[in-house]
A and B are shown apart, each in its own frame.
Chain A
């Protein structure tokens, strides 16, 4: 997994890329996640993103308000995705839906806030998840 960052903290743009198998594994992991985890990223030089983030952290919230959305943020050198187990499961299913062994390189999905989004909570982050062998 690679985590590229454009360095804009006002409106961060982050690219998470991995192989089809890696994205599928991540999707399966999120279906049954019951504790906080951190995954390390492999540094990569990019012509488009000047920075790398070191890790992605998945944090589980309790469903106190019935809001099952993913909260996306950048904290120091971490990409943090936080949500209830239901929210993380929705993300897991989305990854499994969108990525498989036949996915072409550069196929990707956008996770960013817009009014009415049923997956992503309000955030100024734009996360793009990319299939890259």
Chain B
């Protein structure tokens, strides 16, 4: 499917699609195996302090190194762009969720990925021209094994933190329903 000028759903699952959309590099989920992709029932290993290790990194590279960069010009982030919203109140497809996510991310800033109990998170971290810490967190809450996802249905979160405070107004954290029929078993 072609959406937003990109070829979406090119991979076997959401993680593939995210990598294709946001980096297109050969990446691996640290500690999850050579396929590098989260899958149903694949528990994320925890470190000794129970910290999730499922951070996608360049295969064989520095685990702390950023993994993909959203194409586009760099941005001083004096003011962040508003959170994109879907065109209707109806649940969106995973394809549309990917498209909104791409709109939400800041061009030129490295992207990291992490698996959580509710799904997959996409994270950007940077500092704006005023010296404030900016964190973008996209949550694909699509894992039906999560009580939260069973209760609210699959959805997309678009969270912005400024100096550790979750934002409101144009940067508010919406929760956009995703049509469950578009979620594939390999997406979580």
Contact = CB atoms under 8 A, between A and B. Distances in A.
Interface of A: 4, 6, 8, 10-11, 13, 15, 46-49, 68-69, 87, 90, 93-94, 97-98, 106-110, 112-119, 122-124, 126, 128
B77 interface: no
A63 to B, nearest CB: 14
Nearest to B44: A11
Contacts of A49: 147, 151
Interface stretch (B79-87, B100-108, B131-139): B131-139
A116 B112 contact: yes
A97 B166 contact: yes
B159 A110 contact: yes
A95 to B, nearest CB: 8
Contacts, number: 100
A98 B117 contact: no
A112 to B, nearest CB: 6
B117 A126 contact: yes
B139 A90 contact: no
15 contacts: A13-B118, A15-B147, A90-B164, A94-B165, A97-B165, A109-B173, A112-B117, A114-B114, A116-B123, A116-B125, A118-B163, A122-B51, A124-B51, A124-B52, A126-B148
Contacts of A106: 152, 175
Given A90-B164, A116-B112, 17 more contacts: A8-B117, A13-B147, A15-B151, A48-B150, A90-B165, A94-B165, A97-B167, A98-B166, A98-B173, A107-B175, A109-B159, A118-B125, A118-B161, A122-B49, A122-B50, A122-B51, A124-B52
Interface of B: 46, 49-52, 55, 112, 114, 116-118, 121, 123, 125, 133, 135, 137, 139, 141, 146-148, 150-152, 157, 159, 161, 163-168, 172-173, 175
Contact of A118 (B112, B151, B164): B164
Contacts of B50: 122-124
Contact of B51 (A6, A8, A87, A113): A113
Interface of A (DSSP majority class): loop
Interface of B (DSSP majority class): strand
A68 B161 CA distance: 14
B133 A48 contact: no
Contacts of A94: 165-166
A110 B163 CA distance: 16
Given A108-B175, A124-B46, A15 B52 contact: no
Contacts of B139: 110
A15 B164 contact: no
Contacts of B150: 48
A107 B137 CA distance: 17
Contacts of A46: 151
A119 B125 CA distance: 13
Contact of A114 (B49, B116, B147): B116
Given A15-B148, A113-B51, A124-B52, A98 B116 contact: no
